Every structure is written in structure tokens, then in C-alpha cells.
Amino acid sequence: MVDDKIRPYSSKYAKVSGKPDTDAIPYERIPQLKKMVNKESVVLDIGMGTGYKTIPIAKFCKHFYGLDPNFELLQIARKNKKENMTNNVSFIKGIAQELPFRGSIFDLATVLLARLDFREVFRVLKPGGRIYIEYPGEMDKRDMKLLFGSDDKGPRGHQCDIKEGGKLKLLERDLKLLGFSKIRSMSIFYDCYYPTIDDLILLLEEVKVTVRNFSKEKDVKVLNEIQKKFSTKRGIKIRRHDIIVIGEKP
């Protein structure tokens, strides 16, 4: 199975970081998820983090469960629940590798960033239930990450050792091996702009997997090069890449 080491943003990053200025993304998550549910649907978001990306779908389903191992992030998610004025949302502290639910109870399971065991997702989905996976692709921030070079373990930038298109193929393969059907996928590219180098440093420090062993002191030359190479009037321009895979349990 794909060993995706992306971890949810830390609570510090979630609290203090302003969202970067982002170009129009050629894909809207909530409208797509809305097509997969109805008023009788029970939905599970695995590794939900702060919940701002998925809680809005709760108004279109019967009940929405958010699972995350980080208590502080769940506290932030509770605030997002109030802002969305939804009463059919439950938060559960737990891990994706051991989902604390009996089998065949969910109509949809969403996975954004979290590491997971696809077998567990397959187990808790009803027949006909779907899995929706959205991960950063192997080309995400690659131009920037390559500037950090390599160490004795290979490229320091996360996923820089994966060929373009490789991660999508691995995810599709893993879902097929477990018995998922009607698999479809897409790859999305867009640009975002970090207001200052400090905003980018915060990302690198708190989402530690982005660049292995990042240090703003030791990597100061690279940070200067990033500013020189990617600075625009809107901020530091970083190319983003997301991949989406959807499968159905027969």
C-alpha cells in the first residue's frame, strides 16, 4: 500500500497561519461531495484536522463523523462546527489504522491528508459506499522542494523521488487490490502565494514532512534563493498539485 507520510497540520499551524492567496482551483470539493450524498447518508471524515474543508458537507447528509488523533485540532473543529451551524456532527479522537466503528455503516468516507489503512475504510463502508481520497500529489511544491537538495536518504523534499503520475497509479492499484470498483481519478494543478517568507517558513517548520530536517538557520541560503526565484507582487509563488481518487465498495 502507499505509505503516505503526510500528517495533519499541527495545531500551531492551524491557529496562527493565514491561508495563502490562491488562484482559482479548477475543482470544487463540496459540490462534488454533495453529489455523493443525500439526506440519509452517514459520512466519515478520516483525519479531519480542523474540519474546515469537509464540515460544510454535513448540511447535506444525515450525520457526519469527524475522526482525528489530535485533540487540539478537534477543538478547533468544534468551533468550525458552530460557524457552520450544524447539529448533526460528531467528533471522535482516534486513528485511521484502527477505525472505532463496526463494519458497513458509512455511505461515504473522505480522506484528506491522513495516513490510512484502506482495509479499514473498506470494512466500515456499506456496500455501494464510496471512498474519496484527496492528497497532495508528487509534484506539489516540487520546484521549491528541489532547491533543498538531497541527503544520505535521497531528495529532502517529500515525494521528490516519485515520478510524475506515479502516486495516482499507486493509489488506483491499492484500491483495486482491496476490491474497490468504479475507480476514477484526477490530477489538479494551481498556484498559491505566501505573503512573506516567514509564512512559508512556518509551513516548513510545522508540516515537517514537506522538507526533511528543515532548519531556517542551516537552510538560509535556500530560503534566500526561494525569495529570489519565486517572489511576485502577490507573494511567494508556489505551484500546488492535488490528486483525487474515488472508489466504490461493491
- Collapsing DSSP to helix, strand or coil, 121 comes out as helix
The model's pTM? 0.87
Burial of 174 (0-12, 13-18, 19+ CB in 10 A): middle
Which residues on adjacent β-strands are paired with residue 21?
Answer: 193
The total number of residues shown for the chain amounts to 250
Residue 1 lies in a domain: no
In the predicted model, residues of the chain with pLDDT beneath 50 are: 1-10, 13, 15-17
Residue 78 lies in a domain: yes
Q: Residue 137's domain spans which residues?
A: 11-248
Residue 6 lies in a domain: no
Q: What is the pLDDT of residue 72?
A: 82
Residue 5 lies in a domain: no
CA angle, 122 then 124 then 125, to 5°: 65
Domain count, the chain: 1
Residue 239 lies in a domain: yes
Query: What phi and psi values does residue 69 have, to the nearest 5 degrees?
Result: -80, -10
Q: What is the pLDDT of residue 78?
A: 78
Residue 229 lies in a domain: yes
Q: What is the CATH number of the domain that holds 193?
A: 3.40.50.150
